[in-house]
A and B are shown apart, each in its own frame.
Chain A
Amino acid sequence: MKAPSLHLNDVRKSFGATEIIRGVTLDIAAGERHALIGPNGAGKTTLFNLISGRFEVTSGTIRLDDTRIDTLPPHRINRLGLSRSFQITSIFHRLSVFENLRCSLLWSRGYRYSFWHSLGRQSALNEEAERLLEEINLAGRRDVQAGLLSYAEQRALEIGMTVAGGAAAILLDEPTAGMSNTETEQAIALIRRVTEGRTLLMVEHDMRVVFDLADTITVLVYGQVIASGSPVEIRASRAVQEAYLGAEAA
């Protein structure tokens, strides 16, 4: 697994007459932990939806290494090695925790649409799912229906599902939103552990998480990048302080 770089070139997205993303150019280096911050309505989640193929771009290009992905459907982008989580937890709520992880592994392990393999007999696959279960600390909840997990557990499961397929580029949309302090700390440790050696782009509101995890921070305001740099640079940037950080950074 070689971590890819991600390149956005003058990406624009309009919904009707309203332009939400107004020409974003952004380069994310291979293996970098990159945080995307900005006030509500800045277009962070929209940008995620464009990169992951959930929405089509109005204009501009998005490349994963050298491959253009802005014209591909989500599942094709995923197969190229880009995986994402959602702001609102997105899991298979009626399947067990274990099944959720196993389903997330299937495509990358080459099972495709097979209706001849019996899942119970795929020992390598099942061991891998068990190992993931340990990694996200949900081994004790293995057979629980995913929809019945606590909120923090569901978030952890979603992170596990996002990294399961071995994608080298990971997009996390507010992975710690709505968590308590302890849960946030555990989530940071988990993200740090599972994204080792991968390219990470995350939207996050919690500045502790951002400054703790990120190598580079990009600030998005009204669909445009107003600053991009190391945490130290962003903290010092006057434009960022005025536009967004305000009291928190002062």
Chain B
Amino acid sequence: MVVIGLVLPWLFRDYAHARDNGFMIAMFSQMGMMITFALSYNMLMGEAGLLSFCHAVFFGFGGYCVAHFLNAAGDGGFFLPLELLPLAAGLCGLGLAVVFGAMATKQRTTAFAMITFGIGELAVTAAIMFKHFFGGESGITTDRTNAWSLFGVNYGHGLQVYYLIIVWTLLAALGMYYLRGTPLGRMANACRDNYERAQFVGYDPRMVRFIQFALSGLFAGIAGGLYCITYEIVTYDAVAAPLSGNALLMAFIGGVGSFSGPVIGAILITALQSGLSLMSSSWIVYVGVLFIAMVTFAPTGITGILRAHTPIVRSGRLRALALPYARLLLPCLLVLAGFVGLVEMLSFATIGASEGKTLNLFGLTPDVYAVGPWLIAAAALLVGIAWLRLEARRFQAAWDAAMAGLAPVGGR
């Protein structure tokens, strides 16, 4: 992973003009901070079974603090080098998570979720109201070159920031991985499974939740610090509910049951946000539908699906699933094409046309005011769904046959 991270920007470099691919570097930087953020979210969701709606608060607060640190450094009033600012942001996130955690972690399950939702709303309101610290709606801008560097790097170039992000993402990920194997980490799992039994082996589940919550705030703060260093601006969006929801989205789609799940989720969602948003203005619809589909059909996430294959791979029966998988492909593509067609035409008819754009759909230019394209898209969707259900039943049978006599994979 590390090697890939280091080499990645050079694969997309435009060597003919000796220029780096700024878009790709920006996307990979975003992935790095989102990996840290999603992993820290999973310390609550996956490890402790806590559904939080205020995780962005600690991310954003870390970011705001770094903005102020950098501005103070510009006035000569701050001494930490840029390389250590993410840690300072983490400590700020930790401090705030201690305060809010003391409120939220007295409860668990639904009550916990509702308290965190309240905290999230509170933070947005505060960020808009208290202009002195949060800069109101326009946020706080800063300049990362204000700070001095341990290595004499000026961080004027995106690539330099990218390597800083890689180092911190790696450190944070290692830290969070280590935490899983400590008494606290394991008791967080235990309280998730059965908080009552945890009490009867001597642990106070509230204290376990509180410490776990505070530490997840530390890592969210680090991610927020990286965010501020990268974009040099922090607005109230960085503490707001959509970003908290994004953490949930990344962790869940990747899979909350394993350490690598949120990493994969963060990479995938960031890629979708960066790539898909270039292709379609309705990209957020697709991310939403993907989330609903995952919750409904694959609640264990991508890593959960992969892990379910382990017994089949070990028994050497994976080849038996190749054809059934291939057969799923066509109906899937048909459903996708039909759905994308409908969404894009709808979006074009309501917004796009008035902006004077032309619709380009799979290389075609359908007329959205004629009935034909709509009928074709709808038919593709409906036929695709019917076909998919048929193939899914066949696939289930093939899966059951492959799994016959094998023990399914358990969670941890």
A interface residue numbers (CB < 8 A to B): 52, 54, 73-75, 78-79, 83-84, 86, 90-96, 99, 102-104, 106-108, 111-120, 144-145, 147-148, 161-162, 164-165
Contacts and interface: CB of A to CB of B under 8 A. Distances in A.
A115 B202 contact: no
A119 B189 contact: no
24 contacts: A74-B196, A75-B200, A78-B201, A78-B202, A90-B194, A91-B194, A92-B197, A95-B186, A96-B412, A102-B186, A103-B186, A106-B202, A106-B203, A113-B207, A113-B211, A114-B184, A115-B182, A115-B183, A115-B184, A117-B183, A118-B178, A119-B181, A119-B186, A145-B411
Contacts of A99: 186, 189
Interface in B4-40: none
B178 to A, nearest CB: 7
B86 interface: no
A112 B190 contact: no
B215 interface: yes
A79 B203 CA distance: 9
B179 interface: yes
Nearest to A145: B410
Given A90-B196, A114-B183, 5 more contacts: A78-B199, A91-B193, A103-B190, A147-B410, A165-B201
B137 interface: no
Interface in B215-257: 215
A118 B202 contact: no
B201 A107 contact: yes
Contacts of B208: 113
B185 interface: yes
A148 B201 contact: no
A116 B411 contact: no
A74 B200 CA distance: 6
A73 B411 contact: no
Given A94-B410, A120-B181, A113 B187 contact: yes
Nearest to B49: A94
A246 to B, nearest CB: 34
Contacts of B178: 118
A4 to B, nearest CB: 16
Contacts of B189: 92, 94-95, 99
Q: Which one of A115, A120, A145 has the greatest number of beta carbons of chain B within 10 Å? A: A115
Nearest to A100: B190
Nearest to B409: A145
What are the 10 A-B residue pairs with the smallest beta carbon separation, nearest first?
A107-B202, A145-B410, A74-B199, A115-B184, A111-B183, A92-B193, A104-B201, A78-B202, A114-B183, A90-B197
Interface string B61-86: 00000000000000000000000000
A107 B410 contact: no
A103 B201 contact: yes
B400 interface: no
B204 interface: yes
Given A75-B204, A116-B182, A119-B182, A106 B193 contact: no
Contact of B202 (A114, A117, A148, A165): A165
B198 to A, nearest CB: 8
A94 B410 CA distance: 7
A88 B334 CA distance: 49
Nearest to B192: A94
A115 B211 contact: yes
Contacts of B187: 103, 106, 113
Nearest to A84: B200
A106 B201 contact: yes
A52 B193 CA distance: 20
A84 B202 CA distance: 11
A157 B183 CA distance: 20
A79 B202 contact: yes
A172 to B, nearest CB: 12
Nearest to A118: B181
Which of A91, A113, A117 has its CB near the most chain B CB atoms (within 10 A)?
Answer: A113
A75 B203 contact: yes
A75 B205 CA distance: 9
B389 to A, nearest CB: 31
Given A116-B182, A118-B182, A119-B183, A108 B193 contact: no
Contacts of A144: 410
B200 A93 contact: no
Contacts of A95: 186, 189-190, 193, 412
A83 B179 CA distance: 28
A235 to B, nearest CB: 33
B184 A92 contact: no
Nearest to B178: A118
Nearest to A148: B410
A91 B183 CA distance: 17
Contacts of A52: 200
Contacts of B190: 92, 95, 103
A115 B215 contact: yes
A144 B190 CA distance: 15
Given A94-B193, A113-B211, A148-B410, A75 B182 contact: no
B211 A73 contact: no
Nearest to A143: B410
Contacts of B197: 86, 90-92, 161
B226 to A, nearest CB: 23
B62 to A, nearest CB: 20
A113 to B, nearest CB: 5
Contacts of A147: 410
Nearest to B179: A115
A149 to B, nearest CB: 11
A125 to B, nearest CB: 9
| Candidate in B179, B192, B193, B200 with the most chain A CB atoms within 10 angstroms | B200
Nearest to B202: A107
Of residues A73, A94, A117, A145, which shows the largest number of chain B Cβ atoms within 10 Å of its Cβ? A94
Contact of A164 (B179, B192, B201): B201
Most chain A beta-carbon contacts within 10 A, residue among B182, B183, B190, B194: B183
Contacts of A78: 199-202
